[in-house]
Amino acid sequence: MDTNKPPKKPGLVDDGHGDLTYRIIGACMAVHNDLGPGHREVVYQRALAAKFRELGIAFEEEPPLPVIDENGNTLIVYAPDFRVEGCVWLDLKAQSHQLTGDDEAQMIDYFSADEDETCNVGLLVNFGRPRLEWNRVFPPKKLAEHRRKKWGKLINESKRINRPKRINE
């Protein structure tokens, strides 16, 4: 047993991004503590963008994620609320009920449309409840098998890339 490694903290999820998801959740908590529940989603989105700027967390608002068929037709363009530091999808909700499987399925749609696989973790955050609610979502292990197959070969099989490094802005 290696005694030089610090002990792993119980209950913490290692999502491969250091403390980034914890900092994002902390920013969401600060916004929720300030505004409370009861506003529309766009209010929380604007407040969170301001909080990210204040904390020096790099983000893109509503990055386009097109779904394109084999003929090159754009079928839909998803727009998650944020891509944070180029590696975490963040989708906000302002609903009075708990997060649902449909909300999680929406995040899976983002993973599926992200053919370059820039993000390997997503956060669903619901501001509409008295206590902030959030879920970490990871892409299904066999996501490539769920994507359309072309010419007997999985899409992305030939262009698999390494996960991007965190950017500092």
Domain definitions of the chain by residue range: 39-154
The DSSP secondary-structure symbol of 155 reads T
| Average pLDDT of the chain, as a whole number | 82
CA–CA separation, 121 and 19 (whole Å): 13
151-158, Cβ contacts within 8 angstroms, sequence gap of 24 or more: 155/115, 156/115, 156/117
Assigned CATH class of 39-154: alpha beta
Side chain identity, residue 66: P
pLDDT in tens, the chain (169 residues): 445 544 455 455 555 667 899 999 999 999 999 999 999 999 999 999 999 999 999 999 999 999 988 888 999 999 999 999 999 999 999 999 999 999 999 999 999 998 888 898 999 999 999 999 999 999 887 765 655 544 344 444 434 333 344 444 4
CA–CA separation, 21 and 27 (whole Å): 10
